[in-house]
Structure 1
Amino acid sequence: MNMTHYMGLLADNQPWNLIIFMAIPVICAETIAVTELGILFTRKLDGSLKRVNKAVSIFAGIYFTGIFLYLLMNAYIPLTANGEWKGWIDVTAVTFYLLGVVPLLGMALLDLGIFFKNKTAVEKLKTHAFFVGMFLVVAHVAMIFGMVDPSIGTSTGGHMMNM
C-alpha cells in the first residue's frame, strides 16, 4: 500500500521516529487535556493539576516548535520544492500535523506569561482550553489523513504529483 509521508516518517527508524514525532507529543497533549478538564471542573487555578498542566504545556510547546522547524526545513519545503507530494491527501496530513505548533506554542506562550499577560485568570483558562481543543482537531485530522492511501486522492494512480 502507498503511504503518506506522515506515515512514512512514523514507520521509518523504528521505534525512534514513532516516539519522537508521535508518542511524546500525544502523551503531552493527553496530559494537558486531562489536567485541563480537572482544572475546568474544579476551577482550582493554583493546585497540582495546574502546575502539571503548565509545565507540560510549556514543554510541549517548546518541544513541538523544534519538531515543526526540523520537519519544515527537512521535509515540507524540500517536498514542495521538488514536487514530491503524493497528492492532496499527503499534503493535508503533513500540513495538519505541522499546524499543531499553533496551539502548542500558544499554550506555552500563554503559560510563560508572554501571550495575554494582562488577561484575567478565567480569560487565560478559556484561551488555554481553546488551544487544547484546537490541537486535538488538527492532530486528529493529521492522523486520519495520514492513514489514508494517498493514491485514492489522485488521478495519477499514486504517482508523484507536482503541487
Structure 2
Amino acid sequence: MDNMTMTHYMELLASNQPWNLILFMAIPVILAEFIAVTELYVLFTRNTSGGLKRWNRYASMFVGVYFLGIFVYLFSTAVVPLTTQGLWRGPFDVIAVGFYLLGVVPLVGMALIDSGLVLRGQEEQVKLKNHAVMVGIFLVVAHIAMIFGMLSPHLLMA
C-alpha cells in the first residue's frame, strides 16, 4: 500500500505486523479497557479494598509507565524528525499522532494517583473521581486518534 495514502499513525500500526499493533495499540487499549471495566465495578460496589481494585491499580501503574516509554520513543523517533523535516501528511496526520501521544497525560495521571505520588492524603472518593476522569479522557483521546488515523490524509490536502 502506498504510505502516502495513510497517516503515520496507521502506517506505524500496519508496519512490522503483528508486533507494532500489539505494542502500540493492543497493550495500552486492552489495559485501559480493563481499567475502565474494573473502575465501574469499584465505583458501583464501593469496594476499594478488594482484589479487583488491586488489579485495577496495578494495571494503571503499569500502563502509565509503559505508555510513557511509548511517548518518549515515538516523540524522539517520529514526531521530532517528521516536524523538523516537514514530512507530516496534513492535518489528519498531525491530529492522529498528536491525540495518540496525548494519551500519556491521563495514563501517567492514573499511575501517579495509584502510586500515591499525587492526591496523597485525599479521601478515597476524590481519588476514585479523578481516576475515573483520567480513564474517560484516555478513551476519548485514543478514539479520536483512531478515527483521524484511519482517514486518508489527502482528504484535506486539495
TM-score of the superposition, structure 2-length normalised? 0.97
Aligned to 1:36: 39
Count of aligned positions = 155
| Structure 2 segments unaligned to the other structure (5+ residues) | none
Equivalent positions of 1:78-157 (< 5 A) are 78-155=81-158
| Structure 1 segments unaligned to the other structure (5+ residues) | 156-163
Query: 1:133: how far off?
Result: 0.4
Q: What whole-Å deviation, never above 9, does each CA across 1:6-39 have from its counterpart, x for those lacking one?
A: 0000000001100000010011001100000000
Secondary structure at the counterpart of residue 31 of structure 1:
helix
Identical counterparts, % of pairs: 61
TM-score of the superposition, structure 1-length normalised? 0.94
Q: What whole-Å deviation, never above 9, does each CA across 1:55-112 have from its counterpart, x for those lacking one?
A: 0000000000000000000001110110000000000000000000000000001000
Aligned to 1:13: 16
- What letter is aligned with 2:6? M
Structure (1 or 2) with the greater helix fraction: 2
CA RMSD in angstroms, aligned pairs only? 0.7
Q: What whole-Å deviation, never above 9, does each CA across 1:92-143 have from its counterpart, x for those lacking one?
A: 0000000000000000010000011121100000000000000010000000
- What letter is aligned with 2:44? F
User: Could you tell me how far apart the structure 2 residues matched to 1:120 and 1:76 are?
Assistant: 39
Q: 1:25 aligns with which of 24, 28, 35?
A: 28
